[in-house]
Amino acid sequence: MTQISNPEDIIQMKDVSLYQNDFQVLRDVNLKLKEGEFAYIIGKTGSGKSTLLKSLYGALPIISGDAHVAGFDLKKIKTSNLYTLRRSLGIVFQDFQLLTDRSVLKNLEFVLRATGITNKADISMRISNVLTMVNMNDKGYKMPHQLSGGEQQRIVIARALLNRPKLILADEPTGNLDPDTSDEIMKLLIHINKNHNTAILMATHNYQLIERYPFRLIKVSGGKVIDEDTYFS
């Protein structure tokens, strides 16, 4: 593992090109995100927002340029070490990706065991802590289908918090939710950002949320990543 040159930068990308199936999606990406910062990724469908996020958690290789996330050199990281990188991150998907055949508690336990946490007391404490953080500590024995969309997304956020990440990558986390529930999820993410100094990089199409909760904007357009502006809430 190679540390990034500036320890305040949780993300640092320089002159990066990203490919999907040998097709260049993004070129000359230069991007930094500081510890504890909140930023939106915006852009049209198919512009490369998800490609950018996938590269940050190692789902797409870095072919050219340099990229560091949470202290890991993404260009040099071995496949066998990707789980260690992902333990340092929280990942929130639009489509939840909860295991439908087991309860909330078993979903969260599965993630911890998959990332090497095996002590029963530690597992119980971590699960209790994250469910409390997302106000879902009475839902542990529910199955995913017994939860509303907003409740499922809260569980997904709890799952992302299990390993106490310094960075959450969120890909359209309100995309399948109604406006009121989207607002609740945004308030939860902002609370986590401000109270736990967790950096959040969030891809979204929801410009109403951006107007209501203004933060830095990073636009993906024409195969480029453009740092548009910085806003303060």
pLDDT of 147 strictly over 60 = yes
Name the one residue in this structure whose structure tokens are 């950096």.
199
pLDDT of residue 105: 96
Averaged confidence pLDDT in the chain: 88
pLDDT of residue 232: 45
Classify residue 11: in a domain, yes or no: no
For the chain, give the percent of residues with pLDDT over 90. 61
HEC string for the chain: CCCCCCCCEEEEEEEEEEEECCEEEEEEEEEEEECCCEEEEECCCCCCHHHHHHHHCCCCCCCEEEEEECCEECCCCCHHHHHHHHHCEEEECCCCCCCCCCCHHHHHHHHHHHCCCCCHHHHHHHHHHHHHHCCCCCCCCCCHHHCCHHHHHHHHHHHHHCCCCCEEEEECCCCCCCHHHHHHHHHHHHHHHHHHCCEEEEECCCHHHHHHCCCEEEEEECCEEEEEECCCC
Q: What is the largest CA-CA distance in the chain?
A: 50
- φ, ψ for residue 126, nearest 5 deg: -65, -45
Which of 93, 60, 89, 98 has its CA nearest to residue 172? 93
pLDDT of residue 175: 85
Name the one residue in this structure whose structure tokens are 């969309």.
149
Alpha-carbon distance 25 to 49, whole Å? 10
**What's the rounded mean pLDDT across residues 3-18?**
79
Classify residue 16: in a domain, yes or no: no
pLDDT of 158 strictly over 70 = yes
Classify residue 147: in a domain, yes or no: yes
Q: Can you give the pTM of this predicted structure?
A: 0.88
pLDDT of 138 strictly over 60 = yes
- Give the strand order in the sheet containing 216-221: 89-92, 167-171, 199-203, 38-42, 216-221, 224-229
pLDDT of residue 2: 40
Classify residue 120: in a domain, yes or no: yes
Classify residue 70: in a domain, yes or no: no
Crossing angle between the packed helical segments 120-133 and 149-161, to the nearest 10 degrees: 130
Alpha-carbon distance 193 to 195, whole Å? 6
pLDDT of residue 6: 57
Q: Name the band, by pLDDT with cuts 50, 70 and 90, for residue 233.
A: very low
User: Total structural domains in the chain?
Assistant: 1
Q: Name the band, by pLDDT with cuts 50, 70 and 90, for residue 39.
A: very high
pLDDT of residue 229: 61
pLDDT of residue 228: 66
**Domain boundaries, position 45:** 38-53+80-229
Contact 64, 15 (CB under 8 A): yes
Classify residue 121: in a domain, yes or no: yes
Classify residue 98: in a domain, yes or no: yes
Q: Tens of pLDDT along 200-212?
A: 999 998 899 999 9
**What's the rounded mean pLDDT across residues 156-163?**
91
CATH number at residue 187: 3.40.50.300
Contact 188, 202 (CB under 8 A): no
Q: Name the band, by pLDDT with cuts 50, 70 and 90, for residue 227.
A: confident
Classify residue 166: in a domain, yes or no: yes
